[in-house]
A and B are shown apart, each in its own frame.
Chain A
Amino acid sequence: MSVVVRRNLWLLAFYMFVLGLLILVFGILSHVVVSSFAKSWFATPLPHKFTTNWYVYAYKTFQLPHILYVTVVVAAGVVFLALLISLPAAYVFARKDFPGKNYLMVLYLLPILIPQMTYGIPLATTFFKYKIGGTILAVILANLVPMIPFGIFILTPFFEQIALSMESSARMLGAGRLKIFQKILLPLCLPGILVSGLLILIQTIANFELSFLVCGPESQTLVINLYYAIFAAGMRPVYAVDAMAVVYTALVMSLLLIILRFVPPTQMVFRLDKR
C-alpha cells in the first residue's frame, strides 16, 4: 500500500472513532434530557407523551432552591478563599528561588496525587469531632485542600510571564509594594486570576468525594443530591432524577460557555508544559 492510501485509511478510522465517541457523549446527555421530559418511557425510541411536570416535582421534593443555594455558597467560598491563599504563594513560586523549593512543590502536589478518600476520611472525622462536620463551612474547607495547590499551579506561569523589569522600573519610580501589586501585578495577571477562578469553580461544583465525606443533610451540593437520588433508584421516579440531572448539566454547561471563551479545552484539564 502506498503511503497516501495508508494515511487516508488511518484518517478514515480516526474520524470514525471520533464520530463514535461524539455520538456516545451526546447520546448519553440527550437521553437524560429526553427522559426528564417524558410522561413515561419504556423501551421505545421516544416517549409517547411529554410533560414538564417532573421539573415541578423535582423543585418541590428535592428542595432545589436550598440545594442551589448550598452549591453557590460552597462554590463562591472555595473560589474566593482558594484565590486569596494561592495568589501570594504562586507569586513566590514564580519569582523566588530558594533551597527546598522542589520539595515544597512536591508537598503541594500531594493533595492532587493522594486519593481524596485517604485524607478525606480522617479529615471528616476531625471535622465531626470539632462539631463543624456536616456544615457548609466543612464542605468549603474540605474542597479547598486540593484547590489551593491547583490554583498555585495554574497561577505560577501567569506570574512568570510578567517581566521582572516592570516591577523594578515601578520600584525605581518610587512605587511601594502595595502600589506595585495594585497597578502592575494585578492588572497583568487578571487573565490568570480569571482562568484559575473559573477552573476552580467548575471543579468544585463537580467534586464528589470530599463533599460527600464531610457534608450533612443540610449541606449537600447538587452533585451529592444527584448521587443520592440515583443511588436510591426506585424511591423516586427516574424522570424526576433526570430532571435534576438536567438542572445540574445546565448549570455546568453555562459555566463552560463562559470558560471556553478564555481557555482552550486542551488547557483546561492539566497543564503538561515542561518548565
Chain B
Amino acid sequence: MPKAISFRLRFQNLDRVALAFLLPSLLYLFFFFLYPFFYGLVLSFTPEQGKPVYQNFYIFFADEWQRSTVWKTIRLAVPITFLVVLISIPLAYTMRRGIRFERVVTTSLILPVSLGTVLLSEGVLGFLGNNGWLNQLLISTGLIKEPVRLTYNYTGVLIGLFMKNFPFCFLMLLGYVSGINPEIENSARILGARPMQVFWRIMLPLMAPGITIAFCLVFVLDFAVFPTAILLGQPAGETRSIAIAAYQMAFEHYDMPKASAIAMIMAGTQMIGLIIILALRRRLYRGTSLGLAKG
C-alpha cells in the first residue's frame, strides 16, 4: 500500500468517538501540565526591567551558594542510582525462578515503596539515630565507643534514598527478569554455557532494556530528592538539593521568575542525565531487544 494512502487509512481510525475519548485527558494535560510548564518557561526568561533575557539564569550560576546545589544534587543522585541498580540486578537475577520465602521478601519490600519518603525518614531518624537501636547494638557489643552519625548528614540522605528506591528498582527488575522466556536460558545451558556465561552473554543483554528504564526511573526519583534531603540531611548545607533551592526561591522569597529558572535548570540537568544513560546503553549493548518476553 502506498504510504500516503496507509497514512490516511490510519488517520480514519481516529473517528469522532476516539477523539472524544482522548479529549478529556488531552485537555487536562494541556491545562494543568503543558500550560504551567510553558508558563514557568516564559517566566524564567522574564527578567527585571532593563536586564538581559537570561538574567534569572545568570544570577543562579553567578551565585556560588545557588550554583553548588547542582553539584550537591548530582553528588547524591548519581552514586545512589548506581548503587541501587547495580545491587538490584544480581538480586533480581538470583530470584528469577523463585526462591524460598519469595512472597515474604517481595511483600516486605513493597512496604517502603508504598509508605513514601516522609515516613521512612522518620523511621530512619529513630532507628539509625545517635540513640537508635543500631548504635545501641554496636556500642553494647563494643564495636564502637561513640555513636556513628548516620542522620542529619550526607549519609542520612543516601540511606533514605536507598530505602525508598532500592525496593522500587528491585521489584521492577524482578518483574522484568521473571518475564524472560526460561527456554532461552535452558538452551544455552544445554549447549554447554556455564552459569556466568549464561548471565553475561545471554541474560544480561536480554535484561538491558529493562535495566535502562530502571536506571532512568531511579535517576529521576533520586534527582528530585526533596523531603529526604530536608528531614535526613543538612538542608542548609551539604544536602541542599536543587529542588530545595527552587522551593525556597518560590515560597520563601516569592520570586517566581527566579524560582522558575531554577526549576528549568533542574529539569534540564535531569534530562542531560537521562540522555547520558540512554547513550551509555547504546554503547554497551548494540544488540536488539528481540520480542522474547513471554506473554
Does chain A bind chain B?
Answer: yes
Give the docked Cα–Cα distance between A92 and B29 (Å): 17
- Judged by a CB distance under 8 angstroms, whether B175 is at the interface is yes
Q: Are A121 and B260 in contact (CB under 8 A)?
A: yes
Q: How far is the CA of A99 from the CA of B108 in the complex (A)?
A: 43
A145 contacts B32, C-beta separation under 8 Å: yes
- A182, CB-defined interface residue at 8 Å: no
CB-based contact A266/B226 at 8 Å:
no
Give, as a whole number of angstroms, the nearest-CB distance from A160 to chain B: 11
The minimal Cβ–Cβ distance linking A239 to chain B, given in whole angstroms, is 10
Residues of B with C-beta under 8 A to A272? 172-173, 175-176, 179, 210, 213-214
**Is the Cβ of B94 less than 8 Å from the Cβ of A11?**
yes
By secondary structure, the B interface counts as helix
User: Which among B26, B117, B119 is the interface contact of A249 at CB below 8 angstroms?
Assistant: B119
Choice from A44, A89, A231, A270 contacting B217 with Cβ under 8 Å? A270
CA distance A85 to B109 in the complex (A): 31
Interface residues on A, range: 35 or more
Interface residues of A in 1-53 (CB under 8 A from B): 3, 7, 10-11, 14, 17-18, 21-22, 24-29, 31-32, 35, 42-45
The interface bits of chain B over 247-282 (1 if a CB of A lies within 8 angstroms of the residue's CB, else 0) are: 100110000100110011011001000100000000
| Cα A7 to Cα B196 with chains together (Å) | 11
Interface size of B as a range: 35 or more
Question: In the complex, A270→B213 CA distance in Å?
Answer: 10
Would you mind naming 23 contact pairs between A and B with Cβ atoms under 8 Å apart? A45-B133, A85-B24, A86-B25, A89-B24, A99-B7, A104-B22, A115-B270, A116-B224, A118-B266, A119-B36, A121-B250, A122-B40, A144-B28, A209-B226, A209-B227, A223-B116, A223-B119, A230-B122, A242-B126, A265-B107, A269-B172, A270-B168, A272-B213
With A119-B33, A253-B111 given, is the CB distance from A31 to B119 under 8 Å? no
Shortest Cβ distance from A189 into chain B, in angstroms? 14
| Count of CB-CB pairs between chains A and B under 8 Å | 267
Q: Which of A43, A111, A202, A270 is in CB contact (< 8 Å) with B29?
A: A111
Q: Which residues of A contact B260 (CB under 8 A)?
A: 121-122
A119 to B29: give the CA distance in the assembly, Å: 11
Asked if A17 meets B91 with Cβ closer than 8 Å, knowing A25-B112, A115-B266, A202-B114, the reply is yes
Interface assignment of B37: CB less than 8 Å from any CB of chain A: yes
Binding site for B on A (CB under 8 A): 3, 7, 10-11, 14, 17-18, 21-22, 24-29, 31-32, 35, 42-45, 84-86, 88-89, 91-92, 96-99, 104, 107-108, 110-111, 113-119, 121-126, 141-142, 144-145, 148-149, 152, 177, 202, 206-209, 212-213, 223, 226-227, 230-231, 238, 241-242, 245, 248-249, 252-253, 255-256, 260, 264-274
Known A31-B127, A114-B37; judge A268-B115 contact (CB<8 A): no
Please determine whether A91 and B21 come into contact, CB atoms closer than 8 angstroms: yes
CB proximity to A under 8 Å, residues B1-34: 7, 10-11, 13-14, 17-18, 20-22, 24-26, 28-29, 32-33
Contact check, B7 vs A89: say whether CB atoms are below 8 A apart.
Answer: no
What is the minimal beta-carbon distance from B14 to any residue of chain A, in angstroms?
A: 4
Residue B66 lies at the interface, judged by CB distance under 8 Å to chain A:
no
| Alpha-carbon gap, A202 to B116, bound state (A) | 10
Q: Is the CB of A274 within 8 A of B134?
A: no
Task: Give the docked Cα–Cα distance between A120 and B158 (Å).
Answer: 24
Q: In the complex, which residues 98-122 of chain B have their Cβ closer than 8 Å to any Cβ of chain A?
A: 104-122
Q: Please, how many angstroms separate the alpha-carbon atoms of A92 and B123 in the complex?
A: 43
What separation, in Å, do the CA atoms of A22 and B17 have in the docked complex? 50
Q: Are A3 and B127 in contact (CB under 8 A)?
A: no
By beta carbon, the residue of chain B nearest A107 is: B29
Residue of A nearest to B245 (CB): A117
Could you tell me the distance in whole angstroms from the C-beta of B171 to the nearest C-beta in chain A?
5
Given contacts A98-B11, A114-B267, A230-B121, 8 further A-B contacts (CB under 8 A): A113-B274, A114-B270, A126-B35, A252-B119, A260-B107, A264-B175, A274-B289, A274-B291
Q: Report the Cα distance A176→B287, complex, angstroms.
A: 47
A3 touches B195 (CB 8 A): yes
In this complex, what residue of A is CB-closest to B87? A17
A121: which B residues are within 8 A, CB to CB?
40, 246-247, 250, 256, 259-260, 263
B contact residues around A145 at 8 Å (CB): 28-29, 32-33
Give me the 9 closest cross-chain CB pairs, A-B, nearest first: A122-B40, A28-B123, A206-B116, A266-B175, A88-B21, A265-B106, A122-B36, A123-B36, A265-B110
Q: Which of B21, B35, B36 contacts A89 (CB 8 A)?
A: B21
191-213 of chain B: CB within 8 A of chain A: 194-195, 209-210, 213
Of A10, A114, A142, A144, chain B has the most CB atoms within 10 Å of the CB of: A114
Check if B24 sits within 8 Å of A27, measured CB to CB: no
Residues of B within 8 A of A122 (CB): 36-37, 39-40, 43, 256, 260, 263
Q: Please name all residues of chain A whose beta carbon is closer than 8 Å to the beta carbon of B243 when the two chains form the complex.
A: 115, 117, 209
- Using Cβ atoms and an 8 Å threshold, which residues of chain B touch A11? 94
Shortest CB-to-CB span from B119 to chain A, Å, is: 6
Kindly list chain A residues whose C-beta atoms are within 8 Å of the C-beta of B112.
25
Q: Does B144 contact A (CB under 8 A)?
A: no
Residues of B within 8 A of A241 (CB): 122
Q: What is the CA–CA distance of A272 and B217 in the complex, to the nearest angstrom?
A: 11
Contact of B37 among A97, A118, A231, A269 (CB under 8 A): A118
